[in-house]
């Protein structure tokens, strides 16, 4: 998967990483998924879940996944919005991510920070008394996930 983003990205807001811990067990020749935690904010919490899973004799494998979110913002004009009735498209996510999801939306400054379509932006601008005084942003939020090991976790949480 690749994201075809304009080179004029002005701001990247990188979210703090979060993690999930998954455990698997053997059943004959098969390896079955046992459970996956919700996303954890603390590396110490990840280590504790890993330790607890490793104490279970039936667990054959433990996997840690690091999830990060980045929002890329670039300024646009009203003329660069998707045409009337057109959905906002997303090309995809960065190739370095093992699993990724991306979504595109628009922000008006000052004003709403998540408008899903060009039509929603135009409706908001039509509502304003002075639409030329606002700044429009095209935003792409990219959720990336990659496998990591215990040694990859930060020491401070």
Average pLDDT over residues 70-92: 84
- pLDDT tens digits for range 28-80: 999 999 999 999 999 999 999 999 999 999 999 999 999 999 898 999 999 99
The answer, yes or no, to whether residue 3 has pLDDT greater than 80, is: no
Burial class (CB in 10 A: 0-12, 13-18, 19+), 104: buried
What's residue 5's pLDDT? 46
Q: Which two tokens stand for residue 98?
A: 């093992």
Q: Please tell me the predicted confidence (pLDDT) of residue 93.
A: 46
């Amino acid at each position: 998967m690749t994201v075809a983003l304009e080179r004029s990205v002005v701001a990247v807001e990188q979210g703090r990483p979060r993690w999930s811990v998954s455990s698997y067990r053997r059943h004959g020749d098969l390896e079955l998924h046992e459970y996956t935690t919700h996303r954890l904010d603390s590396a110490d919490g990840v280590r504790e879940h890993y330790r607890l899973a490793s104490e279970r004799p039936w667990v054959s494998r433990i996997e840690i996944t690091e999830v990060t979110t980045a929002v890329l913002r670039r300024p646009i004009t009203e003329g660069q919005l998707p045409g009337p009735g057109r959905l906002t498209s997303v090309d995809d996510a960065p190739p370095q991510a093992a699993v990724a999801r991306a979504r595109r939306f628009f922000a008006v400054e000052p004003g709403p920070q998540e408008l899903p379509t060009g039509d929603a932006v135009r409706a908001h601008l039509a509502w304003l008394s002075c639409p030329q005084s606002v700044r429009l942003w095209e935003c792409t939020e990219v959720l990336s996930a990659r496998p990591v090991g215990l040694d990859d976790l930060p020491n401070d949480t």
